[in-house]
Structure 1
Amino acid sequence: MSTAQSLLESRPVSVAHLFLSRVRATPDLEAYRYPAPSDDGSSGTEQWHSLTWAQTGERVKVIAAGLLALGVRPEERVAISSSTRVEWILADMGVMCAGAAATAVYPSTNADETAYILADSGSRAIFVENAAQLAKVIAHADRLPGLDHAILFDPQADAIPVDGLEVLSLAELEKLGTAHLEEHPDAIEAAVGAIEREQLATLIYTSGTTGRPKGVRLVHDCWSYQGVAQEVSGLLRPDDVQFLWLPLSHVFGKALISGQIRTGHVMAVDGRVDRIITNLPAVRPTVMASAPRIFEKVYNGIASRARAEGGAKYKIFLWAAQVARDYARAQQNTVAATARRQVPLWLSVQHALADRLVYRKIRAAFGGNLRGSVSGSAALAPDIGYFFAGAGVPVLEGYGLTETSAACTVNPADDLRVGTVGKPLPGTEVRIADDGEILLRGPGIMRGYHNLPEKTDEVLESDGWFHTGDIGEVDGDGFVRITDRKKDLFKTSGGKYVAPTEIEGRFKAICPFVSNVLVIGNGRNYCTALIALDETAIMPWAASHDLGGRGYAEVVSSPQVHELIDGFVQRVNGELQRWQTIKKFSVLPRDLDVEHGELTPSLKVKRPVVEREYAEAIEAMYEGSREA
C-alpha cells in the first residue's frame, strides 16, 4: 500500500477531529492572518493581525460551546451569511465542533432566496456579517418559525427586536460559551468524539443557473477526505502561505479550509475583491486559488497598460506574451513527450530576455513567491493559461462541483498540462460514459440533495457514480479534459453540434477587452454572440480613439468599438469550422453582474437569464435569416 493510500484510508472521522489535532500539534504556529484597524487607532488604516492555532482553538471552542448553550444539537443546521473573513472560518469550525451542520448562504443572495434556503435547510440559528445581512433575515421572519437565533459578526448599537428571534453579537455568544465550558469543561471534546463519518456536516446550495437552488448534503467524511487528498497530492504544503479571498459560501473556498487545517500552513483571509491587487504584495502568498475571470482581468489589465504606453513598450509586451506561450507549450511537450525533448536553445534565450523585461514584474505583482495558483469554477482560456505559465505564474486548473465537495481533479505543479483540468485526486475515480459524460466516484461525492430524493436519483447511481453533466475525455496519462457542459451543447438547424464554451474561451484568449461572451445558436441556422466589454480595458482605448469624455454605454455602442470587436470576431472565426463561426454579434450596453441575476455568486453565467434579458438583441441578429 502506498503512503498516499495509507493516509487516505486512515483519515480522521471529521475536520473537527482534524482541527483539534492541529491545535494540539502546533499550538504556537501562525494559523490565520486577517486585516483589521491598526493598533494605534489611526483613522482609515489597516494592518494584518494574526491568530496562532492555540488562539484559534480557544475562539472555536467557546463559539461551539455557545451554540451548545443555545440548544443546538447534532446535525441541526446553523447558517452563515457573510463575506469571506476570519470570523466565517471561526464560526464554521465552531458549528463543526458542536456536532452541528453549517448552511452556507452567499452574502449576495437576496432576501427571498435567503429565506428559502433557511427554511428548506431547517436552520435553527444564523451567523450574519452585519445589519444588512440581518435585515434580509428579518424581512421574511414569518417564513422562518424554526429560526431562533441570529449572531452578528459586526454588532449594531440597537438590536432590532423580532418576535421569536434572539439577536446576539459574536462576543455575547462567546461569553455564553465560556460560561458553558466552566460548567462542562469537556463538552467540545465530547461533541467532537460523538461525530460519525456519515453525519451531515454542511449544506451548500447550488448557485443554480436555473430555478431554485438545491441543497447539497456533504458529510464530515467529504471534508476529511478533501483535507488529506490536498495534502497527499502536493497541492498544499505545511510551509505555504495561502491568500484566501474566494467566497467561503462556495464549495471551492470551503474545501481549501480543510486542506489548510490538515497541513497547518498560514492562511491570509480577506474577501474584498477590490483589495486583491493591494493585498498580494503584502501577503506574498506561495499559493492562491481563484476563478478564471480574475486571471482574464489581470491579463487584460496588463495588455491595456502596455497598449496605453504605446510604441516600443507595447511591441515588447506582445513579443514577450508570445514567447511566454511558446515557451510554456514547449515545456509541456517536453514533459509529455516520451523522448523528453528539450526546450529549444533559441527559445530559452528569448524567454530569459523577456523575463528580465516583462515577466519578473508580473511575478512581483503577485507577491513574488507564488509557486502556483489553482483555478476552478469555470474554464480558463488556454492562451491565458500558457501566458501565465510561461511568465512563471503557473495556473493549476482543476475541476470539481458543489456535489463533489469541490476538487476532484487538479493539475500537478511539476507536470502542468494547459487545456486540461489535471489528474484525479488520490481516492477519486473518473469514468467516461458512452455519451461522453464525465462520471465521478469517491469519498468527496455528496450524499444527495436535501429533501429532493428524485433529483438525487437523477444524478447519483446506487454504486456511487455521480453524473456531472459535463462532457470530457481522459488521455493516456490520466489527464482529464472538459469539452463542454452536456446541457450547454446545442444543435444548429443544420444538424451540427456546437460547444459554445470552446468558442467563448477562444474569443476571451485573443480579445483583451472582453468581460463576458455568450455564443447563441440552438435551433438557428448560424451562430451569433452577445459580448460584454470590460470597462477598465475599453475606456482607456476609447480615450485614445476620439471617444474621450463619453460614458461607457455610449462608447460600447459606437461604430469604432463595433469595428474593433469585429476584428477579434473575424480572427476567432478563422480558427473555427464553418458552422461554428459567429456571423453576427451584439455588444451589450453594460457588463453582466450578480446584482442583475446574470451571474451566479461564483461568477458563472446564467445563460437562460441573459438570453431572456437580451431576447430582442438576439432576435435582431436573426432578422431576415432563413431557418433551414
Structure 2
Amino acid sequence: MASQNENGFTEETLRRIWKYNFVLPDGINENTSPFDTTLSSHAAQGKPQALPVPGTKQPGYSEIYRNQCSPDKVISGYHPSVKTFYDAFLTVATTYPKRDCIADREYDQKLKKWGNYKWLSFEETAKRRTKIAAGLVHAVRKATGFDPADKKYIVSVYAPNCVNWILTDLACQTQSLPTVCLYDTLGPHTSEYILNLCESPIVVCSLANVPRILSLKHKLPHVKVIVSTNSFESVPGQFEPAGQSKKELLNVWANDQGVALYSLNEIEALGADFPIADRPPKPEDIYAINFTSGTTGNPKGAILTHANVVAAIAMGRHCLGKNFKPDQVATVYSFLPLAHIYERIAMCIIMSLGHRQAYPHGPVTEIFEDIQILKPTNVNMVPRVLNRVAAALRASTIEAPGLAGAISRKAHEAKLNHLYATGSPNHPIWDFLWSRKIRKKLGFDNLNSLVSGSAPLSKATVEFLKVALAAELLQGYGLTESMSGISVSQPEEPLAGSCGAVAPTTELRFRDVPELGYTANDKPFPRGEIMLRGPQMFTGYYKNNEKTLEAFDEDGWFHTGDVGTVDKLGRIFIIDRVKNFFKLSQGEYVAAEKIENTYLANSSLITQIFVHGDSTESYLVAIAGINPDSYATLANKVLHKRIRPTDLAALAATYDVPEVKAAFIKALNGSTGNLLQGFEKIKNVLLRFEPLTPENDTLTPTLKIKRPAAVKLFKAEIDAMYKEGPLSDSGALNSTPKL
C-alpha cells in the first residue's frame, strides 16, 4: 500500500496538502466529557453564524469565512483523548458497554418473513471486531505472507449496509488497515480498476458479489482472499445434493482461480483460535480511500485519514449536537450506502456519541417497512427520497378532497405561520391533531430530525415536511474530499434553503469566476467558486499526483467546482457549477447545473432533469424524470382523465402527448418565477419515469449526471425535440386526444 510519499506526490504537491495539527475548542481538557456536545455554541437566532476574517481579502478572492464560535482558529478535534476513529469507538465501548450499537433484522425461516431487529451492544461489537480482525490478518498472511506489522495493505469491501459491514470496518481499524469500498453501480471495469490500483489482496463482500469478483479474478492478480459477509449455510429443510452446496460449488471455482474463500463467521472463528494484539492507527494513518464517481474517466481515490475522521466528527457534533443528547439514546436508520462518504461519516458521528443505528433488510423500495418496525429518531435522507415522500403526503393531506383535505389545509397553514414566526416545526395544537397521524403512518412516531444532502431541496418541500412531520429537516453541504459535510443548517431556522454556515473545522472563501459573471465583489454578498481549507480536507488522490496538484492552489485551498454565495448570517447557498456551461447559437452562456437545480428546488413535478443545449441551437431542451404524484394531477387535468399515480403504464401513455408536454413546460417554467432568464428556460422536453440511472450510465453512483453519456444515450430523442421545435407553453390544442 502506498503512503502519501509513495503516491508519487512531488514536493510541491505535498506542500499544498493540509498538515496535521491537533487543535481543540477553547475550554476543552482531559476533565471534559467526550460526550458533551454543548461546547461549540451556536449563534443566537438572527445573529451571524459565520464571519469574514478582517484583512484576508485578496485580488480575485473574497475574505476568508470562519464559524462565529471559532473566528481565530480552525478546530481539528473534540477531546484530547480522541485522535483517531479507533479512539472514538473505544471511548464509547468502555463508557457505555451495554448500550445497543448496531442491528440487522432477523429472517424467520419458518414464517418466510423478516422479523424484528437484533441488536449488538458496544461491548459485543468490540469483542467481535477484535476476533474478525485477527481472522482477516491470519487469512491474508496464509494466502500472501503479508503481515500488517510489516506491510500494510488495503481491505476492499463490497457489500450493502449491514452489521457485518460495520464489524469489518471496525476490525480493520484495530490493525491500522485502510479500506476501500466497491458498490454495484460502479460496474465491473471500475471495480477492476480500483482493485488493481489499490493492489488489494482481500475482498470482503456479500454472497451475491462473490461470483462477480470470481468472474473478474483473471484480471485481478492481487486478490487472494474473498470473505462473504453472508453465511454459506443452506436454508433449513432445503435439499442440496452432495457436492452441490453453495460453499462447495463456490470453493471449486475459487480454488480454480487461486483464491481462498471464507465466510465472515469462519473468519471470526479463525480469529478466536489465533488472537493478535491491536495495532492502533495514528492520526496521520489512512482510514479509507474513497473513490469519487467522476462524470468522465476513471474515478479518483480520495485519501482520508483518521485525523480527517475526527475533524468530521467534531463538525457533526457542532452542527448536530442539539439533536443528539448524551443521556437520550438516539435510534438512527442507515439506508444510504455506507460506501459513500455521506453515510459513512454519519455512522462515525453517531457511533462516537454512543447512539445506536440499524440497517435495511432489502432494497430501498422497502425502507418504510423497516422504519415502521424500528421507529427511528433520526434518518439521513437525499432529495430523491424526500421529494417522493413529500409528494405522497401532499396528495393524501393538503391536496385531498373533502373534509380531510380541508382540515389538512387549515393545519398546514397554521403550522406554517408558526414556523415563520418561531422557527419551530412544532405546534401546541396541530402536532397532536394532524402531524401525529402522519408520523404514525410512516413509522416516524419518534422522529427528531432528518438530514438531507447531495442536492438541493425546494424551500416549499423543506417547509412542508417540517410542519407535516413536526420534525427538523436540516440541509448540508460537503464533498468526498472534505470528509462529507462542512456545513449543516441550524435547527429552528425560520427560512429554509441554506446549507448552514461553515463549521469550525473548515475555512472557506470564494474565487472569482468571471466567465460566469461571479465575483468576490458582487453585492450584497460575494459570489464565486467555493474554496475550502482545513483538517477535514483529504490528503490527495491515491497514486495521482497530477489531479492532486490540480485540486489545490498554491496556498492549500481546495477547488470544489461549486459556485456559491453567503447571506448576512454567513449561511452558504449553492448556486452553480464552474464547468457545466455552454453557449447557445445567439451567444448566451448557459449553466446547465444551475438551471437543473433551480427546477428541482422549485417544482414538485420532477425528481430528476437533464438540461441540454447546443451551439447550433437557440434554445434548451430537457430529459425529465416525472414525479408520479404531481405529474398525474397535471396530466389528469389536461386530459380529463383519472389516472392513478401508481399506474405507471397509463402515465407513460401520456408522456408524448403534445398538450401534456406543453402544460408540463408551462408549469415547470412557471415554478421558477424570476429565478431564470428566458433563454435559460426549456422549450421542449422528453418525459419519462427515472430516465437517468447509474445502470444506464447516465448517473454516477452518487447521482451526478454524466453529461457526455446522457447526450450519447438520448441523442435520437434530443434530435427529435429540436426537429419538433419549441413547444408552446401557453396552451394546448383544443381537442383532447384519445389514449
TM exceeding 0.5? yes
- 1:139-538 to 2 correspondence within 5 Å? 139-156=215-232, 157=246, 158=248, 159=250, 160-161=253-254, 162-181=256-275, 184=276, 187-188=277-278, 191-192=279-280, 195-235=281-321, 236-238=324-326, 239-270=329-360, 272-306=363-397, 309-314=400-405, 317=408, 327-331=418-422, 355=431, 358-364=434-440, 365-391=442-468, 392-415=470-493, 417-435=495-513, 436-508=528-600, 511-521=603-613, 523=615, 524-535=617-628, 538=631
More displaced, 1-10 or 376-385? 1-10
Q: By how many angstroms is 1:358 displaced?
A: 4.2
More displaced, 201-210 or 612-621? 612-621
Equivalences, count: 601
State the match for 1:587 in structure 2.
687
Q: By how many angstroms is 1:62 displaced?
A: 0.7
Q: Residue by residue, what CA displacement relative to the aligned partner does 1:49-77 show, whole Å, maximum 9, x if unpaired?
A: 00100100011101111122133526410
State the match for 2:197 in structure 1.
120
More displaced, 96-105 or 607-616? 607-616
Q: Which residue type is aligned with residue 300 of structure 2?
A: K
* Alpha-carbon separation, structure 2, partners of 1:311 and 1:560: 29
More displaced, 63-72 or 558-567? 558-567
Q: Residue by residue, what CA displacement relative to the aligned partner does 1:308-361 show, whole Å, maximum 9, x if unpaired?
A: 8534544655665566555544545xx9xxxxxxx9xxxx9xx77765664333
* Alpha-carbon separation, structure 1, partners of 2:612 and 2:443: 36
Q: By how many angstroms is 1:584 displaced?
A: 2.1
**Identical aligned residues as a percent:** 27
Residues 537 and 387 of structure 1, relative CA distance in 2, 3 Å threshold:
closer
* Alpha-carbon separation, structure 2, partners of 1:288 and 1:538: 27
Larger Rg: 2
Asked whether the 8 Å contact 2:620–2:682 carries over to 1, the reply is yes
Asked whether the 8 Å contact 2:643–2:650 carries over to 1, the reply is no
* Alpha-carbon separation, structure 1, partners of 2:683 and 2:405: 31
Under a length normalisation based on structure 2, what TM-score does the superposition of the two structures give?
0.75
Does residue 68 in structure 1 map to residue 137 in structure 2? yes
Residues 363 and 568 of structure 1, relative CA distance in 2, 3 Å threshold:
same
Name the SS for the 1:45 alignment partner: strand
Asked whether the 8 Å contact 2:698–2:705 carries over to 1, the reply is yes
Provide structure 2 residue ranges, at least 5 long, that are not aligned to the other structure: 1-25, 29-39, 41-74, 142-146, 233-245, 514-527, 727-739
State the match for 1:620 in structure 2.
720
* Alpha-carbon separation, structure 1, partners of 2:410 and 2:274: 65
Q: Residue by residue, what CA displacement relative to the aligned partner does 1:504-556 show, whole Å, maximum 9, x if unpaired?
A: 34434554442211222353422322212235665688788166885553242
* Alpha-carbon separation, structure 1, partners of 2:689 and 2:346: 37
Name the SS for the 2:477 alignment partner: strand
* Alpha-carbon separation, structure 2, partners of 1:601 and 1:14: 28
Name the SS for the 1:556 alignment partner: coil
Residues 320 and 601 of structure 1, relative CA distance in 2, 3 Å threshold:
farther
The CA RMSD measured in Å over matched residues stands at 3.0
Asked whether the 8 Å contact 2:472–2:492 carries over to 1, the reply is no
Q: Residue by residue, what CA displacement relative to the aligned partner does 1:218-267 show, whole Å, maximum 9, x if unpaired?
A: 11111122223322433444332211111000001110121122101111
Q: Which residue type is aligned with residue 359 of structure 1?
A: S
- Choose from 9, 12, 18 the match for 2:88: 18
More displaced, 15-24 or 234-243? 234-243
Once superposed, which parts of structure 1, at least 4 consecutive aligned residues long, lie more than 6 Å away?
539-544
State the match for 2:97 in structure 1.
27
State the match for 1:571 in structure 2.
670
* Alpha-carbon separation, structure 2, partners of 1:163 and 1:21: 42
Q: Which residue type is aligned with residue 360 of structure 1?
A: R
State the match for 2:20 in structure 1.
none
Q: Residue by residue, what CA displacement relative to the aligned partner does 1:428-456 show, whole Å, maximum 9, x if unpaired?
A: 11111122110111111111111111001
Residues 589 and 474 of structure 1, relative CA distance in 2, 3 Å threshold:
closer
Does residue 101 in structure 1 map to residue 152 in structure 2? no
State the match for 1:44 in structure 2.
113
- Choose from 130, 133, 138 the match for 2:214: 138
State the match for 2:641 in structure 1.
545
Does residue 88 in structure 1 map to residue 179 in structure 2? no
Asked whether the 8 Å contact 1:483–1:499 carries over to 2, the reply is no
Under a length normalisation based on structure 1, what TM-score does the superposition of the two structures give?
0.88
Question: Larger RCO: Structure 1 or Structure 2 (Cα < 8 Å, ≥ 6 residues apart)?
Answer: 2
Residues 476 and 266 of structure 1, relative CA distance in 2, 3 Å threshold:
same
More displaced, 19-28 or 509-518? 509-518
More displaced, 50-59 or 432-441? 432-441
Q: By how many angstroms is 1:410 displaced?
A: 0.7
Structure having the higher helix fraction is 1
* Alpha-carbon separation, structure 2, partners of 1:579 and 1:618: 18
More displaced, 550-559 or 383-392? 550-559
Asked whether the 8 Å contact 1:23–1:54 carries over to 2, the reply is yes
* Alpha-carbon separation, structure 2, partners of 1:305 and 1:541: 16
Q: By how many angstroms is 1:568 displaced?
A: 1.4
Residues 166 and 462 of structure 1, relative CA distance in 2, 3 Å threshold:
farther
Name the SS for the 1:234 alignment partner: helix
Residues 399 and 308 of structure 1, relative CA distance in 2, 3 Å threshold:
closer
Name the SS for the 2:294 alignment partner: coil
Name the SS for the 2:186 alignment partner: coil
* Alpha-carbon separation, structure 2, partners of 1:451 and 1:232: 33
Name the SS for the 2:314 alignment partner: helix
* Alpha-carbon separation, structure 2, partners of 1:19 and 1:318: 46
Provide structure 1 residue ranges, at least 5 long, that are not aligned to the other structure: 336-342
Asked whether the 8 Å contact 1:228–1:262 carries over to 2, the reply is no
Q: By how many angstroms is 1:99 displaced?
A: 1.1
More displaced, 356-365 or 117-126? 356-365
* Alpha-carbon separation, structure 2, partners of 1:463 and 1:569: 43
* Alpha-carbon separation, structure 2, partners of 1:275 and 1:589: 19
Q: Which residue type is aligned with residue 532 of structure 1?
A: G
